[in-house]
């Protein structure tokens, strides 16, 4: 069944899949940036500052990338992102001072992540609306598989840091070439008339479904990114080692790689809001149960639960946003969704560690409560009337006007 559905996607989708895999495979520098800087004699605080600036750059990339995807075009945004990222990575490897390193690190975060809204919008452009959940599941497979394999390779190269920068630059450059020569051409973004008729802020003010989804997503990203901060602290508090923490994170990645595609075959058959709500509830349950899980087997169960939630909601959420967005704002809708995720990566660990230091069990119970609130928000949004921009809440009742665009027209 998966093979049959896979072959229904156009060739351009598989070009994007391949380029995304290569890009994530070569994402070495962001993973080993702190180790690279400390090896050059900088303090942990200075290295952490540079890593934080990378995150700030990625925040800007979410919004700017969405804007460029709609105005400049998906293809040219990806090309610019990849070629500029390759150049910045090579320059960063030769930066002689901390100030220049910090500046180039911020630019690296901006240019490396700039392609994401354009790629997400392009996935929606290339496939039929009813295929979007499955398509985004395949797209996430490229991201997760590339990162998993790339991190392993990077670990083998970590003693020779220049190779990490060179590999990152080469994979970005290769993706840029694929985009330049193999992604479809089309019109250059939206027309001024379209923008005058339905600007971004006008669309957002009237799109209550999308706004409630964003609010719920903010709560869920706060919960989810505890896995990179307070979850490690909880593992140590339970008397377990850092190796156990690494194994638990590998459970998350392994389950996603093996099971997300089969899950998408099921979830695509259900209306979007209930499917997203179920996924968010599973994330809330998994992290909430961390309060009472104190052994490795019990922690594995919690990880499997919140990983199931991720597999249920993530492809559906991406398709849901694509279906809500007006065609000429599709990149910016995906960009704002990415902005929420980036903010969660910053605020989740920051606020989570404060709550954890006050009351560890209270943090996990708090995660359960706000996860329930997020699920109620997205379920409630399903009862709201459709706005001019938020037209569709499922994948079966889309008008033909969307279909010609999904076959590759007007997607430059």
Q: Please tell me the distance from the alpha carbon of residue 220 to that of residue 323, in angstroms, as a whole number.
A: 21
Model confidence at 406: pLDDT above 50 = no
More confident site: 408 or 195? 195
Q: Give me the residue label for tokens 């156009």.
A: 10
Task: Please state the rounded mean pLDDT for residues 346-357.
Answer: 86
Q: What is the pTM of this model?
A: 0.81
Tell me the pLDDT tens digit for each residue of 135-178. Answer: 999 999 999 898 888 877 777 776 788 888 999 999 999 999 99
Separation CA 27–CA 287 (nearest Å): 28
Mean of the per-residue pLDDT values of the chain: 84
Structure confidence at residue 386 as a pLDDT band (50, 70, 90): low
Q: Write down how long the chain is.
A: 412
Show the DSSP H helices in 26-114 as ranges.
28-39, 44-71, 74-93, 98-113
| % of residues, the chain, pLDDT over 70 | 87
DSSP category for residue 396: S
CB atoms within 10 A of CB 99: 9
Q: How far apart are CA 92 and CA 172, in angstroms?
A: 15
- Average pLDDT of 247-257? 88
pLDDT > 70? residue 5: no
Q: Please determine, for residue 23, whether its predicted confidence score (pLDDT) is greater than 50.
A: yes
- Could you tell me the two tokens for 188? 């250059």
Say what the pLDDT of residue 295 is. Answer: 94
Q: pLDDT per residue over 69-121, tens digit each?
A: 998 999 999 999 999 999 999 999 999 999 999 999 999 999 999 999 999 99
How far the first Cα of the chain sits from its last, in Å, is: 31
| Non-local CB neighbours of 340 within 8 Å, separated by 6+ positions | 214, 217, 218, 221
Distance between CA atoms of residues 107 and 175, nearest Å = 19
Tokens of 140: 């996430």
* Structure confidence at residue 2 as a pLDDT band (50, 70, 90): very low
Apex 130 CA angle, 129 and 135, nearest 5: 80
Nearest to 47 by CA among 61, 23, 62, 30: 30
For residue 328, give both structure tokens. Answer: 């000429």
Contacts of 357 (CB under 8 A, 6+ apart): none
Looking at the predicted structure, is the pLDDT value of residue 197 above 80? Answer: no
| CATH numbers and ranges of domains, the chain | 11-186 (1.20.1250.20), 201-396 (1.20.1250.20)
pLDDT at res. 390: 42
Q: pLDDT grade, residue 396 (50/70/90)?
A: very low
Which of these, 114, 62, 63, lies nearest to 85 by C-alpha position?
114
Is 39 in contact with 136 (CB distance < 8 Å)?
no
Report, as an integer, the average pLDDT of 55-61: 86
398 three-state secondary structure: coil
Residues 268-288 have a mean pLDDT of 94
Distance CA 240, CA 298 (A): 12
């Amino acid at each position: 069944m998966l093979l049959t559905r896979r072959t229904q996607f156009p060739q351009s989708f598989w070009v994007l899949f391949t380029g995304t895999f290569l890009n994530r495979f070569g994402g070495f520098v962001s993973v080993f940036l702190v180790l690279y800087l400390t090896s050059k004699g900088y303090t942990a605080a200075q290295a952490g500052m540079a890593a934080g600036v990378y995150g700030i750059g990625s925040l800007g990339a979410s919004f700017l990338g969405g804007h460029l995807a709609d105005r400049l075009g998906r293809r040219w945004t990806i090309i610019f992102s990849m070629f500029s990222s390759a150049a910045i990575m090579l320059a960063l490897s030769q930066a002689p001072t901390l100030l220049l390193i910090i500046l180039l690190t911020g630019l690296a975060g901006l240019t490396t992540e700039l392609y994401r809204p354009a790629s997400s919008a392009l996935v929606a452009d290339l496939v039929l609306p009813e295929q979007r959940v499955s398509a985004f599941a395949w797209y996430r497979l490229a991201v997760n598989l590339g990162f998993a394999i790339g991190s392993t390779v990077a670990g083998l190269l970590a003693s020779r840091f220049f190779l990490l920068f060179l590999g990152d630059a080469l994979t970005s450059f290769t993706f840029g070439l694929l985009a330049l020569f193999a992604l479809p051409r089309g019109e250059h973004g939206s027309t001024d008339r379209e923008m005058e008729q339905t600007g971004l802020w006008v669309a957002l003010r009237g799109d209550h479904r999308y706004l409630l989804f964003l609010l719920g997503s903010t709560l869920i990203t706060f919960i989810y990114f505890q896995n990179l901060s307070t979850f490690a602290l909880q593992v140590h508090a339970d008397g377990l080692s850092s190796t156990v923490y690494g194994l638990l994170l590998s459970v998350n990645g392994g389950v996603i790689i093996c099971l997300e595609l089969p899950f998408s075959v099921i979830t695509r058959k259900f209306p979007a809001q209930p499917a997203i709500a179920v996924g968010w509830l599973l994330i809330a349950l998994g992290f909430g149960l961390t309060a009472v899980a104190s052994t490795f087997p019990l922690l594995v169960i919690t990880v499997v639960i919140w990983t199931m939630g991720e597999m249920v909601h993530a492809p559906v959420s991406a398709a849901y946003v694509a279906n809500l967005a007006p065609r000429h704002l599709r990149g910016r809708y995906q960009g704002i969704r990415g902005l929420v995720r980036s903010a969660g990566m910053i605020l989740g660990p920051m606020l989570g560690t404060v709550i954890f230091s006050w009351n560890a069990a209270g943090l996990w119970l708090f995660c359960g409560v706000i996860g329930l609130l997020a699920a109620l928000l997205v379920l409630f949004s399903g009862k709201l009337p459709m706005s001019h921009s938020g037209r569709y809440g499922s994948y079966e009742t889309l008008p033909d006007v969307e279909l010609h665009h999904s076959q590759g027209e007007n997607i430059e």
